[in-house]
Amino acid sequence: MDFTIDFTKEQIEAIENVLEEELIELGVQSVILMDLAGNVIVNLDSGGTSHDVFSLAALAAGNYGAVSAMANIIGEQEFSLLFHKGEEESIHFSKVVDDLLLLTIFNKNVSLGFLRLKVAEAIKRIQLLV
Amino acid sequence: MALINPKKREVQVKIVYYGPGRGGKTTNLEYINRKFKKRILNEMVTVKTYGDRTLFFDFLPFDMGEIKGHSIKIQLYTVPGQVKYNATRRLVLRGVDGIVFVADSMDLRREMNIRSLQNLKENLESFNKNINNIPLVMQYNKRDLSEEGIPILPIETLQKDMNSQLNAPYFQASAITGENVTATMKKIIALTVSSLRKKLE
Ligand SMILES: Nc1nc2c(ncn2[C@@H]2O[C@H](COP(=O)(O)OP(=O)(O)OP(=O)(O)O)[C@@H](O)[C@H]2O)c(=O)[nH]1
Ligand SMILES: [Mg+2]
């Protein structure tokens, strides 16, 4: 079984629009849609920052896999909230569909509650596109 | 399977260095990182325990230029070789496009090489992949040790143990001196990319 889904140009553009409308406009620094092999599918940022997205995606895929395995050991399907809080910047992870992950990097100007709402909204829209 | 982004015309290819603990996987990537500094835009990422053993993986992204109008991004990974880290090895293998098996030439490590190869087959099977259908290169590492009088396995023995069924291209290498490290990498990239070419037409 392969983990990567192939996307068309149109799909990628539609996903970019969703992420732009739901998350970039909210003020998040960057969003990465990636697969669990660590591939970057879509990456948008608000300008100003340039993170090393490929390394981030590789580490996020490993981290997500490790945390899911921990969940299974204690009898959970998955943990619904994966969130790392920093002094300035924070990272939020969310599963989109089985093999796709949405990673959001945002600073303290964005509230976690609102972010989670918008991420959920974006995911619902992306699920219709993939 | 590699990820193709038709909008950016970019392909991401995942190559994993596999093999027994202390065989020299991380040392391969460190050499490549030094030698190709100019083409590597980002820092090598390593998740290590103290004492330099790989805990999770090493990651080295590498730009390879263009093929059929697509820019090719090679992502080199190593797995942690220690037996106890199988769960993380399996995570790193997700979506693999090509594999370098780094075997340790030291006499003492003969059994560990064989077990690690068996473990690779099993892990691939858990993803419904067959080792025979995936681009693979064998590397017999630490050939330099013979000069220090440390007993190493003859190539014939290694070929018989590791490669008699698979018949993969192989290299005698030294990740420490860099001998055949680049050749190994070029070979696996060539094999992997040629299996991809058809998809890009
Ligand atoms: N003499 C010699 N030593 C080597 C060679 N390659 C690696 N080593 C040494 O072997 C040890 C282990 O090398 P690593 O590259 O860390 O091995 P690894 O396969 O990444 O090990 P794990 O992360 O535990 O899976 C280190 O001390 C290296 O310096 C080689 O070609 N010749
Ligand atoms: Mg290592």
The answer to whether residue A3 sits within a structural domain is no
What's the pLDDT score for residue A78?
83
pTM of the complete model = 0.89
The beta-carbon neighbor of A41 closest among B3, B43, B57 is B3
- What's the whole-number mean pLDDT along residues A8-18? 94
Task: Compute the mean pLDDT over every residue in chain A, rounded to the nearest whole number.
Answer: 89
- Three-class secondary structure of residue A88 per DSSP: coil
| Position A1 pLDDT exceeds 50 | no
Measured over the CA atoms of residue B96, residue B125, residue B129 and residue B156, the dihedral's sign is: positive
Residue B57: its H or E element: strand B54-67
| Average pLDDT of the residues in A37-47 | 90
Contacts of B7 in chain A (CB under 8 A): 9, 12-13
Question: pLDDT tens digits, residue range A90-111?
Answer: 999 999 988 899 999 999 999 9
Query: What percentage of chain B has pLDDT greater than the value 90?
Result: 69
Q: Is A52 among the domain residues?
A: yes
Domain count, chain A: 1
Do B171 and B139 contact (CB within 8 A), yes or no?
A: yes
Q: Please give the residue range of the domain that contains residue A44.
A: 9-127
- The percent of residues above 90 in pLDDT, for chain A, comes to 58
Lowest mean pLDDT among A14-18, A86-90, B7-11, B49-53: B49-53
User: Which residue has better confidence, B13 or B198?
Assistant: B13
| Chain A residues close to B87, C-beta within 8 Å | 66, 69
In a domain? residue A70: yes
For chain B, the domain total comes to 1
Could you identify the residue written with the tokens 């993170």?
Answer: A51
Nearest CA to ligand 1 atom 11: B22
Kindly state the average pLDDT of the residues A28-45: 92
Q: What is the pLDDT of residues B90-133, one digit of tens each?
A: 999 999 999 999 999 999 999 999 999 999 999 999 999 999 99
Q: Residue A6's pLDDT is what? A: 79
- Is A110 in a helix, a strand, or coil? coil
CB of A4 within 8 Å of a chain B CB? The answer is yes
Ligand 1 environment, Cβ below 6 A: B 19, 21-27, 52-54, 78, 80-82, 141-142, 144-145, 174-176
Chain B residues within 8 Å of chain A (Cβ atoms): 1-7, 12, 14, 42-43, 45, 47, 56-57, 59, 61, 73, 75, 77, 87-88, 91-92, 94-96, 127-129
Does any domain span residue B152? yes
**Does a structural domain hold residue B5?**
no
To the nearest 10°, report the CA torsion of A68, B4, A84, B58. 80
Q: Whose CA is nearest to atom 24 of ligand 1?
A: B21
Q: Which two tokens stand for residue A62?
A: 């490993």
Q: What is the pLDDT of residues B72-92, one digit of tens each?
A: 999 999 999 999 889 889 999
Q: Indicate the pLDDT class of residue B39, thresholds 50, 70 and 90.
A: confident
> Is B4 domain-assigned?
no
Mean pLDDT across chain B: 92
B38: pLDDT strictly greater than 90: no
Query: Residue A46 belongs to a domain with what CATH number?
Result: 3.30.450.30
Q: Which atom of ligand 1 is nearest to the CA of B179?
A: 31
Which residue's alpha carbon is at the smallest distance from atom 6 of ligand 1? B24
pLDDT level of residue A3 (50, 70, 90 thresholds): very low
Most confident of A54-58, B22-26, B66-70: B22-26
Q: How many Å from the N-terminal Cα to the C-terminal Cα in chain B?
A: 16
To the nearest whole Å, the CA of A56 is away from the closest chain B CA by 9
* Residue B87 domain-assigned (yes or no): yes
Query: Residue B111: inside a domain, yes or no?
Result: yes
Which domain covers residue B91, as residue numbers? 10-196
**Highest mean pLDDT (candidates A61-65, B82-86, B162-166, B191-195):** B162-166
How far is CA A75 from its chain centroid? 24
- What's the CATH code of the domain at B38? 3.40.50.300
Atom 7 in ligand 1: residue holding the nearest Cα: B24
Q: Which of A4, A73, A99, A101 to mutate to test the interface with B (most CBs of B within 10 A)?
A: A4
CB contact under 8 A, A37 and B91: no
